[in-house]
Each structure stands twice: as structure tokens, then as C-alpha cells.
Chain A
Amino acid sequence: DAGVTQSPTHLIKTRGQQVTLRCSPKSGHDTVSWYQQALGQGPQFIFQYYEEEERQRGNFPDRFSGHQFPNYSSELNVNALLLGDSALYLCASSLGPGQAEAFFGQGTRLTVV
């Protein structure tokens, strides 16, 4: 039973560029959430997708957007990258949007230079 998988594992981008990160949820899960974990900090909630719609959003600017596909996989897009966007981006999946228990992927390490 595959867990949550994310790609790529590492990424280096230049300021101003755009990036797309990908996530496949755990088998049987239909809800995907994205988190940003800056160095030395706990993960911070970006947004959650369920039924291909953004259901809840954290305190992140519109430069952060996402998408969920019919197979429940998801993408996180970040436009106009800033140095401060450098972080580990975590994807979590759950069975249903109201389920508090989530399973996390290993993350994508994004470095903006």
C-alpha cells in the first residue's frame, strides 16, 4: 500500500520563477493538504483540496495556488518566487476533509536563489 508520494524531492529555482510541486495521496484517500515547513519551524497549513476544490486556506498569498485532479492527486504552484519561499513543502492526505488524522509525504525541498 503506497503512502503519500511527492515529487520532486529537491528543487532549486531562481527568484521570480514559478514552480510546481506534485503529490499523490495514500491509496484510498481523497483529500490533500499542503504545508510549508521553514527551517527550524513546524509545518504551516497552506490549503486543502477535496473534490477538486480548495476547501480551506491558511495565511498564504495568492502566489500560492493549487489543483486537484480526478484521481485525487494534487499540485502546488508558487508564482513569483521569493527567497523566503525556500522551505520543505509537505503534502498530507486523509480520508475526507473533516478527518483530522493525516498521513504525510517526505516533502519537496525547495531552494530559491
Chain B
Amino acid sequence: EAQVTQNPRYLITVTGKKLTVTCSQNMNHEYMSWYRQDPGLGLRQIYYSMNVEVTDKGDVPEGYKVSRKEKRNFPLILESPSPNQTSLYFCASSLSWSRSYNEQFFGPGTRLTVL
């Protein structure tokens, strides 16, 4: 089954404790992206990757890191989480980034709480 998976689905942590949220897709997609969803703000892009070893900042990259060493995986790293990073996070992927392939497939989300 074609899908985007994220782990963990739920995480409660404390300020300053490094964490990684994994994202994996099995569709051989080139483009991958991370979003956070907050009430009243919709979905805001954190980082994106056009292909392996190619990443770039989105609208709200502060406090986050990413890497794209393999095509299928795009982990989101919070080196020192803070309470303002409490949010619902989505990973997404699409075949490529062109006029023809704008549809992004989303993972089920990761609910992160930073105390």
C-alpha cells in the first residue's frame, strides 16, 4: 500500500531533550516536506527536500533540522525542543516538484507536546 508513515504518532517530552520524528514513504517520491498545524494558522511548512541531499527552509524553520540521506526517509530533528514547538506535525511527499505533480500525500501526523 502506497503511504507516508510517521513515528511516533504521539510524543510528550520535556524542554531541551533532543528528539527525532521519522518520516518514510514507499512511493519513490522525490519531494518531501514537513508541516506543522496550529489552531488559526493552518499548515505551515518547516523544511522541504527536492531530492536526496537537497533540503531547504520553509516558512518556520527555526528550532528544527532535517536530513535527506535516502530517498524514502526525511526525519525531523528537534535539537532542543521548547514549549512553542508543541504542535501537530505532518510529513508529506510528492512524485516531483513540477507543474504536473503538485499533489502531496500526507502522513497521519505526530502530536508533539513539549512541557
Whether chain B is bound by chain A comes out as: no
B interface, CB within 8 angstroms of A: none
A interface, CB within 8 angstroms of B: none
